[in-house]
Structure 1
Amino acid sequence: MLKNEKAVVVFSGGQDSTTCLFWALQQFREVEAVTFDYGQRHKLEIECAKEIAAELGVKLTILDMSLLGQITQNSLTNSDMPIVQEEGELPSTFVEGRNHLFLSFAAVFAKGRSARHLVTGVCETDFSGYPDCRDAFVKSLNVTLNLAMDYNFVIHTPLMWIDKAETWKLADELGAFDFVRERTLTCYNGIIGDGCRECPACKLRRAGLEKYLEMRQGVMSL
């Protein structure tokens, strides 16, 4: 009976985590969110998360993870690095250890608030090859956190096995399609909504949106 439980959502203000936030609000009695300041190139991401959480009436806590940006080399924390993906290699946007650390700190935060449920928007279908978005990693970390803290966490991954088109479909089913499309920040160049349409994140988001709109139009025309 999740309706009687409390959850903490790992929240960035992007398409995936905002969809997960709407999902959590329907699933749980009480929901809080945590956003991480890790030295990302666009502080607008944090402002976007603040605005969305405030509009949805969700308490948001921002945790300082700036050390992560100091010890890793990637194009999300170093604006001098180009956003590229060479064949057979991880994208330059991969931040080593990010989801591992975010979920671990979110768990410490959640236990202090008597919450047993963590929600994250990681996905193995459209995951750009990031190893810390895989189901095996999440399940392994779930066991580790339970053992390390002697506390029965459950990490929920509503998007794990769906692609971007199906993520748009879920947002639509949650009554959040327009909100997610217009208010979230996915773009690596810091443009809210449909974004720059050129960076890898925007191209993935746009391809999923177009595929879903075609699917929806096909259903409506039947």
Structure 2
Amino acid sequence: MKNEKAIVVFSGGQDSTTCLFWALKEFKEVVAVTFNYNQRHSLEIDVATSIAKELGVQHHVLDMSLLNQLAPNALTRTDIEIEHAEGELPSTFVPGRNLVFLSFATILAYQIGAKHIVTGVCETDFSGYPDCRDAFVKSCNVTLNLALDKPFVIHTPLMWINKAETWKLADDLGALEFVREKTLTCYNGIIADGCGECPACKLRKKGLDEYLFKKDAEIR
């Protein structure tokens, strides 16, 4: 028997879409929530909306434009270059983003009677963002439970797997081609395989190539 109601923090990218498929398998009822913080590419909102509609998932889009004002970065400003110098956080880091997203997702969960919150953060293949770490998520979970006096559970299905393993999870869920063809990961706003040049596209392609090579080798 499936668990209870869940909310998926959903951007329409590879990771969150894989988590959406995972949640649809694990939970009886699934709702998606997307945050509009004036992303560099508004297409992200359209992609998330389209995927949720295709999968028959109720979808909320919440206005988080204040985050853009407080934390200007390469994901929200076209005049800021996408850069990642060694030893420094990349220019795509949005300070406090996951703290805000998880807080508002949990508030929404409180309102609609959902106990579970699912997010695609990962500490294995990531860009060094401090709010993608397992310690942060666990701490945030405790704080939100205390703040709302409810036993919410934050799930991170991708936390300890790399990009190749994330592709494998999508494949195991019967969603490999869906994720490959319909998601938007590219920092330059190109759906599916993307521009091939930005850090997000390179990480995505590297993981896909590794997974497909291993899968092909196993078949042979």
CA contact (8 A) 2:3 2:26 kept: no
Q: Which amino acid aligns with 2:203?
A: L
Distance 1:215 1:43 in 2: 35
Q: Over residues 62-120 of structure 1, what are the superposed CA-to-partner deviations in whole Å (9 max), with x where a residue is unaligned?
A: 00000000111210011100000011000000000000000000000001011010000
Q: Which amino acid aligns with 1:209?
A: L
Q: Does 1:24 align with 2:23?
A: yes
SS at match of 1:140: helix
Alignment partner, residue 36 of structure 2: 37
Q: Which amino acid aligns with 1:66?
A: S
Alignment partner, residue 208 of structure 1: 207
Structure 2 unpaired stretches of 5+: none
Alignment partner, residue 151 of structure 1: 150
Q: Does 1:81 align with 2:80?
A: yes
Q: Over residues 19-61 of structure 1, what are the superposed CA-to-partner deviations in whole Å (9 max), with x where a residue is unaligned?
A: 0000000000000000000011100000000000000000000
Q: Does 1:135 align with 2:134?
A: yes
Matches within 5 A, 1:1-222: 3-221=2-220
SS at match of 2:60: strand
CA contact (8 A) 2:185 2:191 kept: yes
Distance 2:44 2:200 in 1: 14
Q: Over residues 115-174 of structure 1, what are the superposed CA-to-partner deviations in whole Å (9 max), with x where a residue is unaligned?
A: 010000000001100000000000000000000000000000000000000000000000
**TM, length-normalised to structure 1:** 0.98
Q: Segments of 4+ in structure 1 off by > 4 A?
A: none
SS at match of 1:79: coil
Structure 1 unpaired stretches of 5+: none
Q: Which amino acid aligns with 1:131?
A: P
Identity value in percent: 71
Q: Which amino acid aligns with 1:78?
A: R
Cα RMSD (Å)? 0.6
Q: Which amino acid aligns with 1:212?
A: Y
Q: Which amino acid aligns with 1:82?
A: E
CA contact (8 A) 2:141 2:153 kept: yes
Distance 2:76 2:68 in 1: 5
Aligned-pair CA distance for 1:182: 0.1
Q: Which amino acid aligns with 1:176?
A: A
Tell me the number of residue pairs that the alignment of Structure 1 and Structure 2 aligns. 220
Q: Which amino acid aligns with 1:113?
A: I
Distance 2:117 2:96 in 1: 18
Distance 2:191 2:155 in 1: 26
Distance 1:208 1:140 in 2: 29
Distance 1:67 1:175 in 2: 37
